């Protein structure tokens, strides 16, 4: 199986031509247009994140993905991520099985605990149960993937006895788990026989090699199924490095400073940004040549089966994102493939 290339967005609220922030409604419509373009230029996957805060427009990604499914032909559609801890596994499965039907088998789901916590109080969950919620709900979701009647009991949800869930898919539901860098999380993914999606948002990709090795060792130890490993990392593509850096910096700085104030991070600077776009950083920002070279290095280093570029961050404009998607599909992906083919 060859390398797959995806694009992810959280539906960040962006600025319009007048410099003012767009409405959430317009941002969502723009996300659909961005996915349509990704489909046309040959991207393999389009992922939409789930958030429940003012900086992001998408709180119900399955609704957005359903709209995208009706306007695309071949691109696979999923999340980045679905916050399973504050949702119900049965409803998540039903929604994605429905999306799979609407898209003719193109749906997949990336499950995660979420790096933001707004959904927990919003839906009545206690943050003290953060680990237990995900562990139990993932266990139930994996049982639902068999598409057979399920009997299950736990402490965080009502038990099920021979519960059958509908609709059934025509070919199963491809499922990943997003992991930020916890060995325990990697082992859990392997134990359930699911795909590992590494969210690399800081530091060099090589520092995540031990997690890939741990995943494969754990799969062998549990006797479960090994799946291709994927990476999700932020980036932006423009015609030149300087154009990409100048366009992306404000958005990255705005988002990092907003989150940083909540988490006690130091202010984000242009110097740190330039380090992050360098070889030792986790930002894939620059010209098609630069971004392709960095992606190829990451694929080689980690032995990846898929790379997803999170193309939207902060206030980056819709027009800039559309150009980034176009370049990613028509120039970056072919360059990465040529670089990898030359080494075989």
Check which CATH number belongs to the domain holding 270 and give it.
3.20.20.30
CA-angle at 297, arms to 38 and 308, nearest 5°: 25
Q: Give how many domains the chain has, as a whole number.
A: 1
Q: pLDDT grade, residue 4 (50/70/90)?
A: very high
Residue 314 above 70 pLDDT?
yes
Residue 203 above 90 pLDDT?
yes
Cβ(283)–Cβ(313) under 8 Å? no
Q: pLDDT grade, residue 277 (50/70/90)?
A: very high
- Which residue, 135, 152, 156, is CA-closest to 143? 152
Q: pLDDT grade, residue 1 (50/70/90)?
A: low
Average pLDDT of 250-276?
Answer: 90
> Which residues have C-beta within 8 Å of that of residue 34, sequence separation ≥ 6?
7, 9, 311, 312, 318, 321, 322, 325
C-alpha 98/C-alpha 106 separation (Å) is: 11
Length of the chain: 344
Q: What is the value of pTM for the model shown?
A: 0.97
Mean pLDDT is lowest, of 99-103, 116-120, 236-240, for 116-120
Token pair for 70: 């009706």
Q: Alpha helix (H) ranges present in the chain?
A: 24-40, 61-69, 89-102, 119-122, 130-144, 183-192, 209-222, 241-263, 270-276, 288-302, 318-327, 333-341
C-alpha 97/C-alpha 261 separation (Å) is: 39
Residue range of the domain that includes 39: 4-341
Q: How many CB atoms lie within 10 A of CB 280?
A: 11
């Amino acid at each position: 199986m060859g390398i797959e290339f995806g694009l992810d967005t959280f539906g960040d609220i962006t600025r319009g031509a007048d410099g003012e922030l767009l409405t959430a409604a317009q941002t969502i419509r723009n996300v659909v247009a961005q996915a349509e373009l990704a489909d046309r230029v040959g991207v393999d996957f389009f992922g939409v994140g789930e958030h429940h805060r003012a900086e992001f427009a998408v709180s119900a990604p399955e609704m957005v993905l359903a709209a995208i499914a009706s306007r695309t032909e071949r691109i696979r559609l999923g999340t980045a991520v679905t916050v399973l801890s504050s949702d119900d596994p049965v409803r998540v499965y039903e929604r994605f099985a429905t999306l799979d039907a609407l898209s003719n088998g193109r749906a997949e789901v990336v499950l995660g605990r979420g790096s933001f916590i707004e959904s927990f109080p919003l839906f009545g969950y206690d943050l003290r149960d953060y680990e237990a919620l995900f562990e139990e709900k993932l266990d139930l979701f994996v049982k639902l993937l068999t598409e057979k009647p399920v009997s299950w009991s736990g402490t965080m949800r009502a038990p099920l006895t021979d519960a059958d869930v509908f609709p059934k898919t025509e070919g199963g539901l491809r499922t990943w788990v997003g992991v930020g860098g916890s060995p325990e999380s990697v082992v859990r993914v392997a134990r359930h026989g699911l795909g590992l999606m590494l969210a690399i948002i800081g530091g060099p990709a090589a520092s995540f090699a031990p997690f890939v090795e741990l995943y494969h060792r754990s799969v062998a130890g549990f006797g479960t199924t090994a799946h291709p490993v994927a990476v999700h990392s932020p980036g932006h593509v423009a015609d030149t490095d300087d154009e990409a850096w100048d366009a992306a910096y404000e958005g990255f700085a705005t988002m990092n400073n907003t989150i940083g104030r909540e988490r006690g991070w130091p202010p984000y600077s242009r110097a740190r940004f330039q380090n992050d776009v360098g070889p030792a950083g986790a930002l894939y920002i620059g010209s098609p040549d630069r971004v392709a070279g960095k992606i190829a290095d990451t694929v080689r280093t980690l032995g990846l089966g898929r790379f997803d570029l999170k193309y939207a961050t902060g206030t980056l404009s819709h027009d800039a994102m559309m150009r980034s998607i176009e370049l990613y599909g028509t120039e970056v992906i072919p360059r990465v493939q040529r670089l990898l083919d030359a080494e075989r």
